[in-house]
Chain A
């Protein structure tokens, strides 16, 4: 069964550094998302991406964050000037099409900012 894949599984960075989290959505999916989950808390929506542009973003997704689909398969989340509070599990998700709302999540990238 196709899966959303994410790399790396763990990322440790120093405060103030930039990180790029990578995702390969399921190949025939058209909608792409980033969510994050701080340890022990609920999953929070960051951003959705469709037709090569951001469709919706939450208040968490400020100028520190950006997303990109650099080629036909990858979907990336860039976090500039990381802060301690950015430490979380970041999940990529993808959805098939407008009439099929099911989202499939990747296994996540655990980001630790020191």
Chain B
């Protein structure tokens, strides 16, 4: 089955700086890669996603890049703000809409004021 590795486990950045979180996956058939943000005690919320036929996607301060050959994808957050502090999970899903997501272990992003 799919295995998703995520690094780093904790990331502390100064407010206004950029943050980058990286994930690798094992199943070359995986074709959908979402990123979720989870604040303490709350539900995971989808912040951005990318499909395997696209190399990069951007939404305001958030961007995701995908390298299918290397089987890795990254989340980039620019101009970080205190409200960006949360745990971020990457995930991967194989073919077929019903397949379950395999999540990474999460990155605790801390924005230092």
Does A pair with B?
yes
Q: Which residues does A use to contact B, with CB under 8 Å?
A: 31, 33, 35, 41-50, 55-56, 58, 91, 95, 97-99, 101-108
B34 touches A103 (CB 8 A): yes
A48 touches B100 (CB 8 A): yes
B98's partner among A44, A56, A105, A106 (CB-CB below 8 A) is A56
Residues of chain A lying within 8 A (CB to CB) of residue B104: 42
17 example contacts (A-B, Cβ-Cβ < 8 A) are as follows A31-B97, A31-B98, A33-B100, A43-B36, A43-B101, A50-B97, A55-B96, A56-B98, A91-B43, A95-B97, A97-B97, A98-B97, A99-B97, A102-B46, A102-B49, A105-B45, A107-B43
Q: Among B45, B96, B100, B105, which residue has its beta carbon within 8 angstroms of that of A41?
A: B105
* Cβ–Cβ contact A43 & B49, under 8 A: no
Q: With an 8 A cutoff between CB atoms, is B103 at the interface? A: yes
Chain A interface, DSSP helix/strand/loop, else mixed: strand
Tell me if B25 counts as interface (CB < 8 A to partner A).
no
Query: Are A58 and B97 in touch, CB under 8 angstroms?
Result: no
B105–A42 contact, CB under 8 A?
Answer: yes
Question: Do residues B100 and A108 form an inter-chain contact, with CB atoms below 8 A?
Answer: no
- What are the residues of chain A within 8 A of B8 when measuring CB–CB? none
Q: What residues of chain A lie closer than 8 Å to B91, measured between beta carbons?
A: 43
